Structure 1
Amino acid sequence: MNKTLTSCLLATALAWPAVGMAQSQDTVWLQIEARQTVAGASSAARSYAQQLENVVGFSLGNGFYGIALGPYSPQDAQALSQQLKAQGLIPQDAYIVSGNSYAQQFYPVGTGVSLDPQPLPDGISAPEGAATAEDSATISVEDLARALEEPVAAAEGEEEPQAEAETETAESAPEPPPEPQETRAEAVQSERQLSRDEKRDLQIALEWAGYYDGAIDGLVGPGTRGAMRGWQEAQGLEATGVLTTAQRSTLLRQYNAVLEGLGLATVRDDASGIEMLIPTEVVEFTEYEPPFVKFEPTSDDLPAQVLLISQPGNEDRFFGLYEILQTLEVVPMEGERSRNGQEFTIDGENETYRTHIQASRENGTIKGFMLVWPAGDDERFSRVLDEMQESFTRIEGVLDPAIVAPDDAQAVDLVAGLEVRKPELSQSGVFIDQAGSVLTSSRVAEGCTELTIGGEHEMQVVHSDPDLGIAVLQPQGALAPMRVAEFQTATPRLRAEVAVAGYPYGGILSAPAMSFGTLADLRGLEGEEDLTRLEMTVEPGDAGGPLFDNGGAVLGMLLPRNDEGRVLPEDTNFAADAGAIVASLGGAGIEVQTTRGIEAITPERLTQRAAEMTVLVSCW
């Protein structure tokens, strides 16, 4: 379907080239921190940027995300490092790197990074006598950065490296020395330096690895110690119950490896007023389709989708959105739902999709998101969802409904350009008791994975009479019908005016339609006494609907047409007789209301009465 969108831009940087691939030979970076999640790293970068200039964030690979300043010339970077540490503005363990390991940029959003040396901030000056960029042009930046990254041996009382290392050529540079192994006491000491959030991260990683099933509280007790011992044993390490710095790094790297290749990056969309992490390697922005900002798959390899949800609205619109979203093809009916006046969540899963939707209502705006992921990839789905939920942020703005031209054509089976989930078969039915039981055609109840009325209330078959063509459905939850059928036990007169209530076009109409005709015979064409013959034109969706006399009593139930072996006039149709229906239901222990009243009512009152008891029955 062609769409006409007003001119709009998505002001966000979804992916930037790896810095290490284009790193200038005259620049280095001052790396000040690394985090295990993009959300945490983005938050830290924003905090640093309030006091420091040239704050940048890059993926470091293996599930880590670095925050750096730069780029600067090597001499400026040294001066900056010394003075910022002296002022307490950066950690004391910040160090200078070449940037060769930097991959995708995640901060700042929407702005590329210059690879040219940046001037030092005001108040920071290079040391006197420092070599200029030209003076150091023959010095390898990588060698300088490597030297700066090494611990200062003299300061720690360690031995100097052996002289033979100096004979190595640049082409065959030695592997960095293995990290010294911590003793248990040293590991305990380094663990004490961890924040409570960092300890929670370890518990989450241990839970993911299958060794921890306690509370994620950041308190290291016997359960956490046992999980650490279990992980150490599985890795072939000494089971001390205390992870060393290197072991913690390995555990978190294993935990975050599942996110590699997804390109999680912060996307800020001012049009919708939403900022959050999105897997930008597997989805890309395609269009605004209020109330959605749509991100479609970048390839068929991983058919994921992300939709940002943004619209103005009160509680009525909020509840309406909740109902509409569940009609989408990509939202399976199986799964948990929760809703109150301020927020809702929808989780659906089938053999094709796993979908999560969440939205909340604040200050007259409704905002949220939907993540659709292929079924069977539960681990990545769960991790991506956690990152998206943690990073979801409301910012100023809400998606303008007028962003789509008002005369834009919209198919009735699409909601904002998304295909609505459609049932295999839809027919009609009628409430027959105050518990919400529904009489309908046995055809609609055959071979269904799921049955619903009104598109939302799940039903189950409790009685079926294929010979008569009827079935009774009962709700799986509480229902309170406005009105129930009263079956007419008095014999109607021939040629009386009758009417059928039903949903001739499935769920396209929000209320049942009335079809009027004549009672042609009290028997079928072959003398069947459990049938009545009608002269009226109906649609397939009307089948299962109640047949009314002019007083609003139910004379029977419209049966689906069966033209096999014969061709009948279009206005020749049949209904199961009320007496036969009552007998069949009574035999199954189902009690219904009956009447012998024949007082006529107006067509307007009849239509209103029919609307209060007639329902749409769908087979999925």
Structure 2
Amino acid sequence: MSRPRLSTPIAVLPPPGRLARIAALGLCLLAATSPARAEPVDIPDGECAVIVASRRSMAEVRDFIRANPDAAGETPSVYLSRNGWHAISRGLLRQRGADGVLDRAKRNGLIPRDAYCSTGRVYTSRIPLQATSRNPVELPPDSLVEEVPATRDAATLDPRRMFDARPLSRDDKRALQAALALSGDYTGLLDGQWGRGSQAALNTWSQRRMGRDARMGDVMRLGAEARTILRDGGWRMRRAADTGLSLALPTARLRPGKRDGDGLGESWEDPETGLSFQFGTVGDAALRRIHARFAEAAAGGRRNDPPYMLRRADRWVSSGTLGRGLFYLRSDRRAGGWGTVVVYGPSSAKPEIGLVASSIREGGPVALEPDPGGPLDLLIDRWNGAAPRDPAPIVSPRMPEPAPAPRNTGGTGTGFLINSSGVYLTNAHVVEGCRALSVNGIPARLMAESAGFDLAAVEAIMPIAGARPLPIADRPAGLNSDVTIAGYPLHGLLGGLNVQRGSVAGLRGPGGDDRLIQISAPVQAGNSGGPVIDNDGAVVGVVVAKLDARKVVDALGDMPQNVNFAIRGALARSFLEANGIPFRRQSSAVAQTRAEAAAALDAATALLECLP
């Protein structure tokens, strides 16, 4: 099988259209149909193989090629190294001038930043790739390479051993990459693929901290330090609303921010670090305007430090110094425009900005922390001097128990009307992953959502007869004040709207979470997103969760009664204001009778259904 020969920077990647056709065909690589056998390494003198990644097993090689068709190229080659690893090459270059070609390709985002050119002296053989449309790359039948499973073997986890990433899972490797991004040593993607760039970053950190290359014990300290930062800030991977992208966010500290009028529909701030985040999908004109605004401001302020700019048919990236701060801006082409993420903040937040930039990915969220009970988790626990702790007997505010139907499998929740335009407020976890939504059976669209506050706004495409909006309270509910909730719990078992009364039992949620209030009104699955109103009929909260009774019984031997939680009405008001969504405000404080409260809730509360 012939290999591509790269002679110019333009030849590093096939045209975008061609790449799309290759990806659409499932990477049907060109190969002979005879059984695959290891072949001699035949890199000619004066030439070198462009290595874009190294993987332990052929299974990982297949995963990389499927996930990175642009980096792997149209007809990649695989070389078996003396250490048992597999080097993935996208073609050959003449050694003379190869560095310039690779540098230009890296700057343009065409190949990974840690790609390099190898003369092949450390390779023992070349492994051909077989492919069909159903099985893109086959493992050669005579391969001597075996899968290396994750292990908890004491020798493998010996802190004195030189670092070896092979026992680690993909989540473990991604967690280490996140830790190195926070330390400022890693600028690649958090992809869980451990290559030369990841290893070089780890060795740089270890040389700076320990004066030597990394050992297994070093990742104990690195991982423990990163875990503290991530947990203190509530850092989680979350979807950036209406962009098709996910990224790492300090969810425990986020507050609504100001929008800049460029069509970015969601804005958040982290008061502790000074970071600002903006998300949204924009058109071509807004794309050029946003990137030009940041790039020109950066170029004007630091003429000796020009901004980094990438302009591709499917992705734009701009980053650099802006005044006394830093910014990172990425836009990915998607149906209907460009999914765009902007993050900027002071220079002191450079590690956090690096983490966010590295974490941005297409599709849904992934883990930032190691596999529970896995090798890296055990090493970190060993550093902390404690065994892994049992989970707390309180569920996350985003996961009521009994829980709503799992994501992407459909389910129901509750929402309530907030204005005369047919906009309903609910929980983000009610609408997450839904292919289609309906409000009382009428099709609806998602307008805005916030994973940090677990709030979402949904608009029905046509008015619902008899519906009347509820006002949002202009003051918080007091301790022990009476409240009434409404919703559609256990839909299919119970019939119609369910109204319950209770009181404000606490002014904070689990662990002192000041986003929540505790209520005593009974809550069941399906109540999520329902209104909590005070005696004047104004919304003082949005039902979100209940205490996990089973875990409390297991931990304490006592059955909790009606310990439930709602998102504060003030946060609902801030969410709506930040997204420019009008809502009915409380105009007066006139106490309602129970019958009047029930009638108002009946006119405003609706059943939300999610179609996966």
Give the alignment's TM-score, normalised by structure 2. 0.31
Structure of higher CA gyration radius? 1
TM-score where L is the length of structure 1? 0.30
